[in-house]
Amino acid sequence: MDHPSEIAGDPRFFLQAGPHTLNAVAAAAGAAVPADEGARMLRGVAPLQTARAEHVSFLDNPKYRPALAATRAGAVLIRPDLADAVPAGVVAIAAAEPYAAWAKVAALFHPEPPVTPGVHPGAAVDPSADIDPTAEISAFAVIGPGAVVGPRCRIGAGAVIGAGVILGADCRIGVHASLSHALLGDRVTIYPGARIGQEGFGFAVTDTGFVSVPQLGRVVIEHDVEVGANTAIDRGSLRDTVIGAGSRLDNLVQIGHNVRIGRLCVLVAQVGISGSTVLEDHVMIGGQGGLTGHLRIGRGARIAAQSGVMADVPAGAEVAGAPAQPVRAVFRQIAMLRRMASEGRRRPAPTSGEPQPRDPE
């Protein structure tokens, strides 16, 4: 079986659109091209290394300039200051933010498949559920009593929308995802296998064992949020768990009960946030970052990968390490340890009977 390498937009998996003129591609990118080149036809997108004359490619990171020099693409999205590096015969589409422009151009050639309205015969929909006629309900999906599925939503195969759950317009619920005790805004995407609204990790400790505390809150997910595959978001215990508008949660993220995440936050894979912690707007947390409960992370704070955060983080701060501390302090400590290790290697071994030097404090 043939396995072609570096195929972008394999037609077996991705919807195809076009061809498009270079003018149309530039317009999608918010840019312009020379008038005598505007009628050139482009048929798709491809990496610099494999693109041909009918493809558009992009360069954002100067590290890949050697690939740019050798590309055979028809056009390249590129920063204005690098446009002169585009080889002869390749049209430079100058964009202040090439990666964002690339996203729009790639969507031009490979748009999302349209919603196919209707309920699959194999789906289980409670008679009291309110399904907008423009929504798509796939095979083996389950829609519980009193649930509301808004206009143009797509519910994937085997997904479960629990009793009373509300989905706004244009939501995408992935295969085998499950939602309960949740209210979703518009244009929310829940990727496959995500679990939204289950009981939080709450219990009282007694002399005879653990007593589960009823989790009586909800999960509120605001507009334009994406929740990655196999991520889990617990419902609140008394207050709601809230995910702010525009935030992006990667795969395998854990959000505890009562957590409140602000607008446009980014949480990378395997981040874990304990109950009742608050993230203000524009917070970014690297992969495997862990936060204890009842903290406040200030607006625009950045938390490095694998950090262990055990105290509040001020607005705009950058922290790293476990326990997390300001990044500059971490780098100073690393530099000091390296100097100490280097000095230890250079120090001659003591002769017999000579007192051992003390380690620096």
Asked whether the beta carbons of 220 and 166 are under 8 A apart, the reply is: no
**For 177-325, CATH number?**
2.160.10.10
pLDDT digits (tens, 9 = 90+) for 331-353: 888 888 888 887 776 666 666 65
Distance CA 169, CA 299 (A): 29
Of 234 and 18, more confident: 234
CATH 2.160.10.10 boundaries in the chain:
177-325
Q: How far is CA 77 from the centre of its chain?
A: 23
Q: If phi over 0 gives left and psi between -120 and 50 gives alpha, with beta otherwise, what is residue 201? A: beta
For all residues of the chain together, what is the average pLDDT? Answer: 93
20-109 is classed in which CATH architecture? 3-Layer(aba) Sandwich (3.40)
Other residues' Cβ atoms within 10 Å of the Cβ of residue 144? 18
> CA of 7: how far to CAs of 15, 43, 82, in Å?
14, 13, 26
Distance CA 157, CA 136 (A): 10
pTM over 0.85: yes
Q: If phi over 0 gives left and psi between -120 and 50 gives alpha, with beta otherwise, what is residue 348? A: beta
CATH 3.40.1390.10 boundaries in the chain:
20-109
Among the options 20, 110, 257, 282, which is catalytic? 257
CA-nearest of 256, 195, 182, 273 to 227 is: 195
**Which residues neighbour 81 within 8 Å (Cβ) at sequence distance 6 or greater?**
none
Distance CA 233, CA 105 (A): 33
Q: Break the chain down into helix, strand, coil percent, rounded to 5.
A: 15, 25, 60
Residue 257 bears catalytic tag: yes
Asked whether the beta carbons of 100 and 23 are under 8 A apart, the reply is: no
The pLDDT, as a whole number, for residue 213 is 94
User: Among 236-250, 261-275, 325-339, where is mean pLDDT lowest?
Assistant: 325-339
